[in-house]
Structures are given as structure tokens and as C-alpha cells.
Amino acid sequence: MDKKIGFFICTGCGIGEALDVAALCKVATKEGKAPSCKQHPFLCGQEGLEFIKKDIAEGVNTVVIAGCSSRMNYDVFDFGPEVIVERINFREQVVWCHPANDEDTQMTAEDYIRMAMAKLKTLELPEPFVPEDVSKDVLVVGGGLTGLTAALEVAEAGYRAVLVEKESNLGGYTAAFYKQAPSRPPYTDLEPNEVPAKVQAVTDNPNIKVYTSAVVEKIEGGPGKFDVTIKTAGGSAGERVGAVILATGAKPFDPTPLENFGYGKYPDVITQAQMEELAAKGKITRPSDGKPVQRVAFIQCVGSRDKEHLPYCSAACCVESLKQAAYLKELNPEAQAYVFYKDLRATGKYEHFYKRLQDLGTVFVKGETSAIKIEQSGGQLVVQGEDVILREKVNLPVDLVVLANGMVPTTAGEENILNLAYRQGPELPILKYGFPDSHFICFPYETRRTGVYAAGSVRAPMHVPAAVEDATGAALKAIQVVESVSRGAAVHPRSGDLSFPEFFMQRCTQCKRCTEECPFGAINEDEKGNPLPEPTRCRRCGTCMGACPERIISFKNYSVPMIGNMAKAIEVPEEDEEKPRILVFACENDAIPALDMAGLQRMQYSNWVRIIPVRCLGSLNLVWIADAMSKGIDGVLLLGCKHGDDYQCHFVKGSELAGIRLSKVSETLDRLGLESERVQIQEVSIMDYDQIPGIIDRFAARLDELGPNPMKGF
């Protein structure tokens, strides 16, 4: 596209008072070669917009707006898909964080103009990749409560769902529940199990195709065009779907190895699932002799919250025990329930239910439940434990013991569930304890396979209402992805982004860096080892672009030369002027908002910095650091998200990969005689805005100590 640039400076919000705008216009037109430079006191207002639109009507197709952050007024400054809009942040990142009418502040603003003009040289409007034959159907794997709910939600939203269940009947673990814990106000009364009705609704729904006694044999392709092979009892079936919901749930933990509980040894020590079966008969009797029970002990955290077994809280068992204690009393008002617990995790609205159980006279005994011993002598079961509140030993004779055994995600097992034909493996990557990775902080259902959403207790331990909510959320996510793919747009966090990575294959050395580092498994490989990008799987993070040593991966609007040109456009003063320059590469997801917030709070920091936003630190290509250093920039600061198990990186692995790459650059710098401290990486979350001035000023002070970059002036 032939760019016809219109350059506009907004003088509102204090910009006009703090900067010499006429001088800036000169930089834009003389150095930046902008055909014209116009200023307006209120660009985002009606009159200001008309001012811009007038130029667009006259043929301008590339609008540069120097004013507020691109995170503000992005909808206001949207002139349609044919017009490139480039924003220069004079407000949050110049006049609000640096002194007004100051030589260095003015130089900062000038540099940002040079950088934007350099950026425009290679920037193009993206052309979306829209695959042919996009399917908007959703595959739901698992026909338990979560899967049933997800399929119904998908169908009710007007899409077709394909449900695959391993067993011959739908319903899963909760199908056999005698009653359900309260899910509605006042959150005190037991409810009938809603699963059988859901099974019926799914069976009756013409928009849901159900396969029972079936498993997924293979999933090929990507969002919008997953080709699924389903193995059924009688043979096999094929389905093309647009998205996948993994809802295979969890399995109950087997308490047999925990010998102290006597499970398997004493018939009257049972699991929660067995209790449901007993209650379903309408009268709770002992498995050993069929006698009705009077005194029942519920032992919490059996296997859960135990380093040796399940290190996590299984989240549902407390409420399930409360439920069972409640129906014990309902079926036999004379019965007495004893709940042995470590902490009673009846969170949220379940507090009302817990209170109700107390009101029913349930006795709660707090203590280390893993130390409890169940013994039987003379036909009498005795629970031996400790009440840590009374500080005394407990020896309680009971008729029945119910173990609140925790849950183990189905993904923790050996068998494959999804069988994805992905280079990076057939299943979802695991975060911890066998649970698939999900961005649990911001985007819980998202997994590291675009278009595949995990929901329910396979994603994290959870109870009934949480699983229903999860299923609904995942269904909406699935619909979002099929709709986005049909427009060639990315899903979160770059929702709506139409760009995608293009590979200049002639120069590919088959080094496999991109295929290995893509956090989403978006790049497969052919037999010769060439990368085979699947654009619909791509999240547009640019990690592959940062990884590629040949620098042959680029987006229409984001590329290695584009950022390199921006770095090189910074004017570096001579050494004797004592004006060091710091280049900051800041992640758009957290660091840029934090920088904006620091500006919003009028926090002041060194005006030696020049900031370049990046899609993710994962897209950092080391050549940019070389570009900056050889240009004479004194130091480079990378601001990205937290990584590790509790990562906050929106692209999961990006910031971590940047750290790994950086460790390599340090060696190179050392070899060149440049202190490796000149390049630093810092983790910044959006909440850390108050630390921004400290981080930048400390780095500036350290660079001052190191002295100027010796490459200056070369």
C-alpha cells in the first residue's frame, strides 16, 4: 500500500504547554518526511476527529496521532480497516512523567516522532488468513456434568455440539448422586440431582450429536478446522469441528494405600461415592451387616492436602461431606454425624450450608486427619484422632466411616485423551499435579492449545456449581474462537488481531527453534523438518519471530526490521554531552499499562528512556539488542511478565524464553567488552506501576556508574 501520511499532534491534556510543538512539527516534516504536520487542541473531540477525517477524505490513508497512549481512545481513533493508525504517546510517557519545557523532555518527544516514522517504513495493513470450510461446531470430550452443560450451552447459543463419552451412558461421576448440595438461595437445602435431567436434555437436543462408548482417536488441524476421528464400539466416525472442550473430569482418589483408614479392610469404611450409592436406596445401612446406622464419621482430606499423595485441596469433598451429613439426618433424624476435618473449606455461599449443618447438630472435630486411625474390635469401629481445639485425644465409636477421598484429574493418567496431531505432543501441556496448563489468573479456560478449552474438574479441583460455571465459560470461549477464526482474527489476548506470522522459507535452516518455542504448538513440521505453520492455532505473540536466528518470520505490522529501525531511529548524543540513552522493550500486556499508569499518577522518572512496546517479551529478537548497542545506546531494559509456575505472561512462556535468550546475550556482551549489566530484564505486573520510577531510575543510576557505551560515535 502506498502510504499517504497525515501527521497530527494533539496539544490537549497539557501536551501543548509542556512541549515546543512547532519544533516537533519540524522534526516530523523535515526528518520524518511527513508531508504535513497539523496540531489541534482537542483531537479526540468531535471537531478534532472531523479535522482528521477531512484529510482522510482527501486521500490520507496513514494517520499518525501524537497524543495519548494507544490504550486510550482506540475506538475513537478508528478510521476503518483501510486506514493505518499509528499512535505516539506524548501524554502518559512524555509530558506526564517528565518535567515540562525541559530540553531532555523535548528530545524524548522528538525521538518518539523519529521512531514512529521509522516504524511506518515497513508497517503494512494485515491481510487476514481465513481458512476454507471453517466449521463452527464444538467437540465436547466427556459426558459428565461439565460436558453435558457445555454441550447444552453450545447448542442453546445456536451452534452444533458433538459429545463424545467413553462410557455407555452419559452422566459421569455425579450421575449417581442421591442429592445435590444447595446451589440456590438460601443455600441451605439439598436439591435433587440435576444430572439425569441434563442427560435427557442433551439426548433430546437436535443440535447435539452424542457418541457413547466412544473415544477420540485423533484430532488434526487447528481451530475452525479440527478433523476429529472418533473410535466407536462399532467402528469409527469423522467430524469436523471448530473448537474442542475438554471435560473429562477427575477420578476419585483410591484410599487403599492409606492403611490407617482401614479402607478395603473394614467393610464399613467407605468412600463418598459408595455413600451416594447407599443413600440412593433410601435408607443408609451398613455394608457389613445391613443394619441401619446411627453414628457416622466423615473423614476429610483423605489423600488431599498431603504431600505424599494429592498435594492440593480437592475443593469439593468438604461440601460433599456436608451434603451427606445433611441427608443422613434427613433419612434418619436420630442419626448423628461427626465430621473430622483439617479446615472446613465450604467457601462462598456454602458458608450458609455449613451453618445449617451446625444447626442440625453435626459435631465438627478439628485435627490432622491424615493421622486418624480407624480400628475395629468386637465388631465396633472406632475413630482414633485428636481434637486440636479441645487438645485431647478422641476415641469415637461409630457405625460407619465415610472417607472424603480427593480427586485426580483424568489428564494425570497414562492414557491419551485428545490425541492431538501436534508436533509438541498429543495432549495438553500439564502445569502441575496432572492438571492441564491454563492461564488461571486471567483466562482460566485457555490452554496452551488454541481452540482447546479445559473445563470442570479436569482443569482444577472444583465442586458442582463451579463446574457448571466453568462449562458455560468454556462454551463461550469455544464460540468465540470459531467466530474469530472465520474472520481470520486472533483470540485473546490479541483478540481481533488480523495479522499472522509469515515465513520466508527459502532461508529457513530447519533449526526448529520456532517449532520448539511456540507456546501454543502452532507450528508443525513436515518430513524434511520444515516448519508448517497452522495460522489458526496462532496467538500472534511473536515468540517464533523472536526465536528465529535467521529472522525470516514476520507479521505485516510487526517484524524484526520494524523494531530494529525504531531502535536505530533514536538520536544518540555524543559522549561528552552526558546524555545517556536507555532503550526499554516493554510487554504490551502488563508493562505498557503499568508505564501508562505511572504517567497517569504523574510519577516522574528519568527522561533518558525511550520505550518500544512489544507484543510479548517472547518476541524479543536478540538482533535488536545488537542494533541498540552498536548505535551507542547505553543500556537496554526489558520489562515483561512474571514467569514460573505462577506465571502471569499472557503467552505463557514468552517472558521465560526472553530470559533464556538474554542469558546468551550476556556472554556475547562480555566478549565484546561491554558489561552484561547494560542489558537487564525485570518482571513487572500491571499492579507494579508504583515501582516503575524506581526500576528505571536505579537502572539509569547503574548505567551512570558504568559510564558511556564505548561504541558511541562509531
Binding characters for ligand SF4, 489-508, by CB under 6 A (x = yes):
------------x-------
Distance, in Å, from the CA atom of 486 to the CA atom of 147, rounded to the nearest integer, reads 24
User: Judged by CB under 8 A, does residue 331 bind other proteins?
Assistant: no
- Rounded to whole angstroms, the Cα distance separating 183 from 419 reads 35
Interface with other proteins (CB under 8 A), residue from 11, 106, 149, 336: 336
Q: Which of 584, 656, 521, 674 is nearest to 89 (CA)?
A: 584
Query: Are residues 303 and 461 in contact, defined by beta-carbon separation less than 8 angstroms?
Result: no
Contact partner, 396, from other proteins, ligand SF4, none, Cβ < 5-8 Å per class: other proteins
Amino acid of residue 265: K
If the CB atoms of residues 377 and 506 are measured against other proteins, the closer one turns out to be 377
CB of 615 to ligand SF4, least distance (A): 7
**Total number of residues that touch other proteins (CB under 8 A):** 22
Beta-carbon contacts of residue 60 (< 8 Å; ≥ 6 apart): 4, 5, 6, 83
Alpha helices in 411-541 (DSSP H): 464-487, 513-517
| The entry of ligand SF4, other proteins, none that residue 226 binds, CB within 5 to 8 Å by partner kind | none
Half-sphere exposure of 355 (CA within 13 A, CB side): 9
Task: Answer yes or no whether residue 300 interacts with ligand SF4 by CB under 6 A.
Answer: yes
Stretch that binds ligand SF4, among 60-68, 296-304, 350-358, 504-512 (CB under 6 A): 296-304
Which lies closer to ligand SF4 via its Cβ, residue 198 or residue 448? 448
Binding residue for ligand SF4 (CB under 6 A) from 654, 682, 703, 709?
Answer: 654
Question: Angle at the Cα of 267 (from 263 to 272), degrees rounded to 5?
Answer: 60
Three-class DSSP category at 101: coil
* Site for ligand SF4, residues 392 to 411, rule: CB under 6 A: 404, 406
- Taking the CA of residue 179 as centre, how many other CA atoms within 13 Å lie in the half-sphere pointing to its CB? 21
H or E element, residue 396: strand 392-398
Instruction: Indicate which single residue of 1, 197, 371, 389 sits in contact with other proteins (rule: CB under 8 A).
Output: 389
Contacts of 15-22 with CB under 8 Å at 24 or more apart are 15/66, 15/67, 15/90, 15/91, 15/94, 15/95, 16/41, 17/100, 18/94, 18/95, 18/100, 18/101, 18/105, 19/90, 19/94, 19/95, 19/100, 19/101, 19/105, 19/106, 19/109, 20/101, 20/106
When binding is defined by CB under 8 A, the residue of 23, 100, 371, 390 that contacts other proteins is 390
Site for ligand SF4 in 345-364 (CB under 6 A): 345
What is the x/- site pattern for ligand SF4, positions 533-552, by CB under 6 A? x----xxxxxxx--------
Nearest to other proteins of 397, 413 (CB atom): 397
DSSP character at residue 167: S
Any contact of residue 314 with ligand SF4 (CB under 6 A)?
yes
Whether 531 contacts 547, CB under 8 Å: no
Residue from the set 186, 238, 397, 426 that interacts with other proteins by CB under 8 A: 397
Chain residues 348-387 in contact with other proteins, contact rule CB under 8 A? 354-355, 358-359, 361, 363-366, 377-378, 380, 382, 387
Partner touching 206 among other proteins, ligand SF4, none, CB below 5 to 8 Å by kind: none
Least distance in Å: CB of 331 to other proteins? 17
Residue 34 or 658: the one with the smaller Cβ distance to ligand SF4 is: 658
Q: How far is CA 370 from CA 47, 251, 626, 679, in A?
A: 71, 20, 57, 50
Q: Enumerate binding residues for other proteins (CB under 8 A).
A: 336, 338, 354-355, 358-359, 361, 363-366, 377-378, 380, 382, 387, 389-390, 394-397
Q: Enumerate binding residues for ligand SF4 (CB under 6 A).
A: 300-301, 304-305, 313-315, 317-318, 343, 345, 404, 406, 501, 518, 520, 522-523, 533, 538-544, 587, 589-590, 616-618, 640-641, 649-651, 654-655
